[in-house]
Amino acid sequence: MAVFPKTIKLLGDGGTLAIDWSDGHRSAYPYRYLRDRCPCATCTDSEPAPEPPPSQLPMLGAKPLRPDRAELVGRYALQIFWNDGHSSGIYTFDYLRELCFCDACEAELDHLI
- Between the alpha carbon of residue 26 and those of residues 29, 30, 32, 39, 104, the distances in Å are 10, 14, 19, 21, 10
Closest by alpha carbon to 8, among 97, 72, 75?
72
Closest by alpha carbon to 20, among 74, 88, 110, 100?
100
Which of 2, 11, 102, 107: binder of Zn ion (CB under 5 A)? 102
* Sign of the CA dihedral running 44, 54, 28, 65: negative
Looking at beta carbons only, is 41 or 72 nearer to Zn ion? 41
Looking at beta carbons only, is 10 or 28 nearer to Zn ion? 28
Min CB(43)–Zn ion separation in Å: 3
Query: Which of the stretches 2-10, 33-41, 49-57, 68-76 binds Zn ion when contact is defined by CB under 5 A?
Result: 33-41
Q: Which amino acid is at 35?
A: R
Which of 17, 19, 34, 38: binder of Zn ion (CB under 5 A)? 38
Which of 16, 31, 78, 89: binder of Zn ion (CB under 5 A)? 89
Determine, following the binding rule CB under 5 A, whether residue 99 of this chain makes contact with Zn ion.
no
